[in-house]
Copies of this chain bind each other. A is one copy, B any other.
Amino acid sequence: MADEPAPERADAARNRQAILVAALELIRTRGVDCVTMETVASAAGVGKGTLFRRFGSREGLMAAVLNESEAAWQASVISGPPPLGPGAPPMERLLAFGHSRMRTNVTSGALIKAATGDSSARSRAAASFAVMHVRHLLHELRVSGDLVLLSIAILAPLDIMVIEQQQRDHISLDRIEAGWDDLVRRVVGG
């Protein structure tokens, strides 16, 4: 009994979750720049006042959406369906990881700009998760050597700043993906 959350608290958590899900859906369909506090409030079925009380500002809401979406992505890497999640051979998982990270980063690019908070702390946390995961897959692939250093090299071209620069240079995501697959095969070797 003592461990059960008070009903108001459970309600608040559900409410928060509903707001974040509604916001993410709106961002995906309309793009970050077209999502206002009004549209999110109305889609989530709450008042605009609730939204401001809970997230402080539009930037605060965007930061919460970003954290939620990064956590969901990490969960799909750890325990989602293969080939991103466990179950597929490690090389397939590694390639799926890179493609998924690249596309997630492209989607999050606009969100990162719209969000407040310590973006460098957030990206350090995401980077350290990615290094741990790639290192684990390199180990499964029986690559020997400094696996952290090799992981850092493999992950560098997936960085959002790098991808955005290549998009400005009109290089397609498919072409970046093909170049990245080639890099991975070179590093992993025969």
The smallest C-beta distance from A116 to any residue of chain B, in angstroms, reads 19
Chain A's interface: helix, strand, loop or mixed, by majority? helix
Number of interface residues of A (CB under 8 A): 23
Partner of A152, one of B149, B156, B178, B182: B156
Interface status of A162 (Cβ within 8 A of chain B) = yes
Partner of A183, one of B175, B176, B187: B187
* A window 142-168: CB within 8 A of B: 145-146, 148-150, 152-157, 162, 166
Interface status of A45 (Cβ within 8 A of chain B) = no
Residues of A within 8 A of B (CB): 145-146, 148-150, 152-157, 162, 166, 175-176, 178-180, 182-183, 186-187, 189
Give the CA-CA distance A178 to B144 in the complex, in Å.
Answer: 13
The 4 closest A-B pairs by CB, nearest first: A146-B179, A156-B156, A149-B179, A153-B153
Give the CA-CA distance A117 to B145 in the complex, in Å.
Answer: 38
